[in-house]
Homo-oligomer: A and B are copies of this chain.
Amino acid sequence: MKIALAQLNSTVGNLENNKNKILQYVFKAQENSADIVLFPKNAVFGGNIESLSVIKNFHDDVAKVLEGIKQKSSIPVLVTAFDKNKKNVPFLIENNKINNVSNIVFEIKNKKFYCILADDIKDVSFICEDKNILLTDNLIILAGGYYYKNKPEQIRTFIKKVAEEKSVNVFYINMAGAQDGYVYEGGSFSVLKNGNFNKIAKLFEEDFLITDTEVDINVEQKTNNEEEIYNCLILGLKDYCAKNGFKKVALGVSGGIDSALVATIAVDALGSDNVLGVLMPSKYTSKESMDYSIKLCKNLKIKYETVPIDNIYNSYINECPQVFKDTKKDLTEENIQARIRGNVLMTFSNKFGYFILCTCNKSEDAVGYSTLYGDMTGGYSVIGDLLKKDVYALSNYRNTISNVIPVEIIKRPPTAELRENQKDSDSLPEYDILDDVLEKILEKNMTYSEIVNSGIEEKTLDKVYKLLFSSEYKRRQSPISTKVTKTSFIKDIKFPMTNKYICKKN
């Protein structure tokens, strides 16, 4: 028996295009004499539809795609679409019929198939308790879940165990594409009842597998976390631009590590010709920052423009005497610089169509160390789910492929350069401590006492809790970012903005 897995990349709402892509893979499966071709969850309508169901015509239009597939397919095709209750369920298109196979075992060539939808391991664990699984030869998992660190390996390990314990062949088919910061990572596979991986598809790109259940091979599993995350970030940005019609991107290049990594990812996603660096020096910008920025742009072979901001800054100071005359310098003067830079970037966007990339990282977002409408400006926050330490790790990883990020940028201490001799560590704990605390709160879910007992000072912990909660309002106005962890601010963690909770020692 030959089973085809079509790991495609569809686009939400692009029904005609998704149908044509599906049909291309159907024909390819037919050419390869497959007995059935499997498509990932959501392949027909393209991903997470959110409130599109409000639009009355949408579900009818999706149903028409199934009709279109039916008319041109000569082998069984398994996809998901909406049933009468607008629930997303599997449909088997076979013998000129479209059958809802939700929770039903179906047969092909006298072999039983059991089909489930699953976004993550927990969805699979649940269904494994179902006794029907013991009556089947083949388990099909139509997956539509998002990538997070270590997921591909965890999924494979878990499902291999299911295959062995239940003695079934398992076909796990996932999308490979991105939508609004959520990345479907691909990595579809077939694992036979003996636990051998017959085929494993590529991560983060379209792929097509044919598994012959009679052929016993065991392909090697490979995992490189940094490579995985880096490629996830590339696909997240690339698909957002491609699917929304943006060809060119621009970003503020500051001479710091965050904008350096974002520029590099942008070049890897869209090509050097499509990336513009904008240098926006003020009187607080060091010569090193300018030199490193230019060196980065040259290494990446991207164009750059320079817009000094001091004169614009002075015009605000002069025109707002109510604010600036006879008052003490404070955060206002710092923020206005960041906001001028945001506005300047948006003029490039409005006039020339550049899509603006935000360069904030997760450590900054967690504690609100960023300026709303300033450095938070942009349509996409490329590294918004990376802690500062991961920014360094991925920069170093990328430099092992080709040495594009100047080592001086990696080595210098982080600074916002919004006042004389400013360092991030003036306002924040050192990043290694901050990242450690954030992981303990968000990922390890440790209690206050557990965190203190692990060696964190109470003063530091109190400060991080306070900043974490009080900066929620900024995160709500942040551009979306690519999710790469289970604790992203884009999808997983949203605190109430109104929130008087104080986490303290018991």
- Assuming the contacts A480-B497, A496-B179, asked whether A320 and B307 have C-beta atoms less than 8 A apart, the reply is yes
- Cα–Cα, bound, A48→B503 (Å): 17
**Which residues of the partner chain B approach A51 to less than 8 Å between Cβ atoms?**
492-495
**Chain B neighbourhood of A311, CB < 8 A:** 315, 318-319
Contact assessment for A13 and B496 in the assembled complex, using a CB-CB cutoff below 8 Å: yes
Residues of chain B with a CB closer than 8 A to A351's CB: 323-324, 327, 330, 332
- Which residue of chain B has the shortest Cβ distance to A48 in the bound complex? B496
Task: Decide if A479 touches B480 in the complex (CB within 8 Å).
Answer: no
9-residue interface stretch from A140-148, A284-292, A294-302, A443-451: A443-451
Within 8 A of B (CB), among A217-245: 239-240, 243-244
Distance from A248 Cβ to chain B, minimum over Cβ atoms (Å): 14
Q: Does A126 reach chain B (CB closer than 8 Å)?
A: no
A82 within 8 A of B: no
Write the chain B residue with the least CB distance to A344: B320
**A340 at the A/B interface (Cβ < 8 Å)?**
yes
- A110 at interface by CB-CB < 8 Å: no
| A305 in contact (CB, < 8 A) | yes
- Given A319-B308, A343-B339, A343-B343, decide whether A244 and B330 contact each other with a Cβ distance below 8 A: no
* Contact across chains for A339 and B346 when beta carbons are under 8 A apart: yes
Identify which of residues 26-64 in chain A touch chain B, using a CB-to-CB cut-off of 8 Å.
Answer: 46-52, 54-58, 60-61
In the complex, how many angstroms separate the beta carbon of A245 from the nearest chain B beta carbon?
9
- Structural contact, B322 and A305, CB atoms closer than 8 A: yes
Kindly identify, within residues 366 to 415 of chain A, every residue whose CB is under 8 Å from any CB belonging to chain B: 372-373, 377, 379
A56 touches B499 (CB 8 A): no
Q: Is A425 an interface residue when CB atoms closer than 8 A count as contact?
A: no
B60 touches A506 (CB 8 A): yes
Could you say which residues of chain B place their CB within 8 Å of the CB of A319?
Answer: 307-309, 311-312, 344
Is A336's CB within 8 Å of the partner chain B?
yes
Assess whether A421 is interfacial by the CB under 8 Å rule: no
Residue of B nearest to A487 (CB): B54
Q: Nearest B residue to A371 by beta-carbon distance?
A: B346
Shortest Cβ distance from A257 into chain B, in angstroms? 25
Tell me the minimal C-beta distance from A294 to chain B in angstroms: 16
- A 254-268 binary contact with B (CB < 8 Å = 1; else 0): 000000000000000
Chain B CB within 8 A of A71 CB: no
A215 at the interface (CB under 8 A from B): no
**What chain B residues lie within 8 Å of A14 (beta carbons)?**
500-501
Residue A473 CB within 8 A of the other chain? yes
A310, closest chain B residue (CB): B319
Given A179-B496, A498-B240, A500-B243, residue A350 in contact with residue B373 (CB < 8 A): no
A342 to B339, CA, bound (A): 9
Asked whether A17 is an interface residue with its Cβ less than 8 Å from the other chain, the reply is yes
What residues of chain B lie closer than 8 Å to A363, measured between beta carbons?
Answer: none
Given contacts A56-B447, A320-B347, A503-B57, is CB(A11)–CB(B498) below 8 Å? yes
A180 within 8 Å of B by Cβ?
A: yes
Indicate whether A506 sits within 8 Å of B57 (C-beta atoms), given known contacts A315-B312, A496-B47: yes
A433 contacts chain B at the CB level, 8 A cutoff: no
A477 at the binding interface (Cβ < 8 Å): yes
Residues of B contacting A324 in the complex (Cβ-Cβ under 8 angstroms): 347, 351
Q: Which residue of B lies closest to A348 (CB)?
A: B323
| A445 to B347 Cα, complex, angstroms | 38
Question: Provided the pairs A347-B336, A350-B335, A496-B12 are in contact, do residues A373 and B377 lie with their beta carbons within 8 angstroms?
Answer: yes
* Distance A477 CA – B379 CA, assembled complex (angstroms): 9
Residues in B neighbouring A316, C-beta threshold 8 A: 312, 343-344, 347
* Least Cβ–Cβ distance between A181 and chain B, in angstroms: 9
A58 to B506 Cα, complex, angstroms: 11
**A496/B52 in contact, CB under 8 A:** yes
Q: List 28 A-B contacts (CB under 8 A).
A: A13-B496, A13-B500, A14-B501, A49-B496, A50-B494, A50-B496, A51-B494, A52-B496, A54-B445, A55-B501, A56-B450, A57-B504, A179-B498, A180-B496, A244-B497, A312-B319, A314-B315, A316-B343, A320-B344, A330-B350, A331-B350, A335-B350, A339-B346, A339-B373, A379-B473, A476-B479, A477-B477, A480-B497
| 8 residue pairs, one from A and one from B, having the closest CB atoms | A13-B501, A14-B500, A332-B350, A315-B315, A373-B373, A56-B447, A332-B351, A13-B500
- List 12 extra interface pairs beyond A57-B506, A311-B315, A323-B351, CB under 8 A: A12-B499, A13-B501, A56-B447, A56-B450, A180-B497, A305-B322, A311-B318, A312-B312, A312-B316, A316-B343, A330-B350, A339-B373
